[in-house]
Amino acid sequence: MTEIFTGSFTQQEPIPEEAVEAALVVLRHGRLHRYNVVPGELGETALLEQEFAAQTGAKYCLAVSSGGYAMATALRAVGVNPGDPVLTNTFTLAPVPGSIASVSARPVFVGVTEDLTIDLDDLETKLDQARVLMLSHMRGHLCDMDRLMQMCDAAGVTVIEDCAHTMGAAWHGQVSGRQGAIGCYSCQTYKHVNSGEGGLLVTDDEELAAKATMLSGSYMLYERHLAAPGPEVFERIKYHTPNVSGRMDNLRAAILRPQLRDLDRQIERWNERYFEIEKGLRDTPGLSVVDRPEVETFVGSSIQFLLLDWSAERVNEVIQRCAARGVELKWFGGAEPNGFTSRYDSWRYADSAPMPKSDRILAGIVDMRVPLTFSLEDCALIARIIRAEVSAVYQS
């Protein structure tokens, strides 16, 4: 009998009851705007920032309207100007080059390795082309962060980290988002905490924190923040920093706080599912799983494997056959952008030279989300289906 998977790849878990209760409190008092507080009240957004700063060990934290907004704000705060080149990953998602384009700067793409991380050798040759690297920890794969930071520090390149897929991850025990000058996280439904939309930004640099806060639309109410620098820092920058409104609101903050407290448990659940799928895929002829470095603590909220040097037709056949059995795979090698997958050469607003080494890898990357609504049995079944269909096409 042919096994079929009938679950949904886009179904999230419900918002925890504790978060629903916290949301109802905000709805009942009606003070949704972050600066709308009664005397003595600490707003949900300010508390969220204080707690996320503590959780990541950062001095400062700012909550904003989306992950993409956090990244664009980071670029503005570090002083990227229109026309400036900004280094970034070839293998990433559209909001990453999009954040660079949003400040009228110019992405300079850096290649991808078979580990699905940024190619540090390629980066080395391009470090003299830009002052800033927007480093995307795409699909939660961390590169050798020690080597990357050494290289960027030596070249005077400021690193901004896109941690949309690494909230809760770490390199050598160091929390992801804390090696670069600024770390940016997304709280969007498909990431590691769910407020529909939302973003967080962390930094230890007081001036960057003050600028980001002003940029996010703090008017002159920055003293209502609990994880921002003192007023003297704002005095230095407030006349020169525009308001580009993109604040977080108290309703979203209220539902995020309990979720962040629960993050470690959720990560364990993601990783159980990830390892179950990985176990089922290992040693499938023609398929390579991506081995994770021992010093990387990751969050298995998605899984990737490589069908390296397969023709486009055969990869497509695998995708179709798996889809027919209920398993939704995404392919980063497709010529046309499709759903959330797109390639550097489909972002035609940004010039790019051909990157044959990266093209070979992108052409083989198959990607799958791992929602927590999957049971471990679901994961084992999904792996059996992928294994069977990859084997069938490989042997044909």
Ligand X SMILES: *Cc1c(COP(=O)(O)O)cnc(C)c1O
Q: Site for ligand X (CB under 6 A): how many residues? A: 15
User: How would you classify the pairing of strands 132-136 and 296-297?
Assistant: unpaired
Q: Which one of 13-21, 162-170, 200-208, 245-253 is the stretch in contact with ligand X (CB under 6 A)?
A: 162-170
| Contact partners, residue 391, CB within 8 Å, separation at least 6 | 284, 285, 286
Q: Is 117 in the site for ligand X (CB under 6 A)?
A: no
Nearer to ligand X, 239 or 349 (CB): 349
Rounded Cα–Cα distance for residues 332 and 367 (Å): 8
- Interactions with ligand X, residue window 59-78 (CB under 6 A): 66-68
| Contact partners, residue 182, CB within 8 Å, separation at least 6 | 74, 77, 78, 160, 161, 201, 202, 203, 205, 208, 212
CB of 243 to ligand X, least distance (A): 20
Lookup result for tokens 């049995």: 377
CB of 164 to ligand X, least distance (A): 3
CB of 350 to ligand X, least distance (A): 16
Residue number, nearest CB to ligand X: 67
What is the arrangement of strands in the sheet containing 170-171, beginning at the earlier edge strand?
Answer: 174-175, 170-171, 296-297
Q: Which one of 16-24, 93-101, 274-282, 377-385 is the stretch in contact with ligand X (CB under 6 A)?
A: 93-101
Nearer to ligand X, 186 or 266 (CB): 186
User: How would you classify the pairing of strands 302-306 and 365-369?
Assistant: antiparallel
Q: Which one of 22-30, 92-100, 239-247, 370-378 is the stretch in contact with ligand X (CB under 6 A)?
A: 92-100
CB of 216 to ligand X, least distance (A): 14
Q: Is 259 in the site for ligand X (CB under 6 A)?
A: no
Q: Is 169 in the site for ligand X (CB under 6 A)?
A: no
Nearer to ligand X, 92 or 241 (CB): 92
Nearest alpha carbon to residue 92 among 140, 148, 126, 125:
140
CA distances 179 to 55, 144, 211, Å, are: 15, 11, 20
Q: Is 164 in the site for ligand X (CB under 6 A)?
A: yes
Q: Which one of 33-41, 143-151, 158-166, 254-262 is the stretch in contact with ligand X (CB under 6 A)?
A: 158-166
Structural contact between residues 138 and 301, judged by C-beta atoms closer than 8 angstroms: no
Out of 90, 92, 117, 250, point to the residue binding ligand X (CB under 6 A): 92
CB of 258 to ligand X, least distance (A): 20
Counts for the chain of helices (H) and strands (E), in that order: 13, 14
Q: Is 162 in the site for ligand X (CB under 6 A)?
A: yes
Q: Is 383 in the site for ligand X (CB under 6 A)?
A: no
Rounded Cα–Cα distance for residues 53 and 63 (Å): 10
CB of 72 to ligand X, least distance (A): 9
Rounded Cα–Cα distance for residues 161 and 177 (Å): 6
Beta bridge partners of 331: 366
Out of 93, 255, 267, 361, point to the residue binding ligand X (CB under 6 A): 93
Q: Is 167 in the site for ligand X (CB under 6 A)?
A: no
Q: Which one of 112-120, 161-169, 228-236, 303-311 is the stretch in contact with ligand X (CB under 6 A)?
A: 161-169
Which amino acid, 106? R
CA-atom Rg of the chain in angstroms: 21
Q: What is the residue-wise DSSP string for 37-83? A: --TTPPPHHHHHHHHHHHHHT-SEEEEES-HHHHHHHHHHHTT--TT
Binding letters toward ligand X, positions 188-217, x by CB under 6 A:
x----------x------------------
Nearer to ligand X, 51 or 162 (CB): 162
Q: Is 55 in the site for ligand X (CB under 6 A)?
A: no
Nearer to ligand X, 138 or 193 (CB): 138
Q: What is the residue-wise DSSP string for 224-253? A: G-SSS--HHHHHHHTTT------B--HHHH
Residues found near ligand X in the complex (CB under 6 A): 66-68, 92-93, 95-96, 136, 138, 162, 164-165, 186, 188, 199
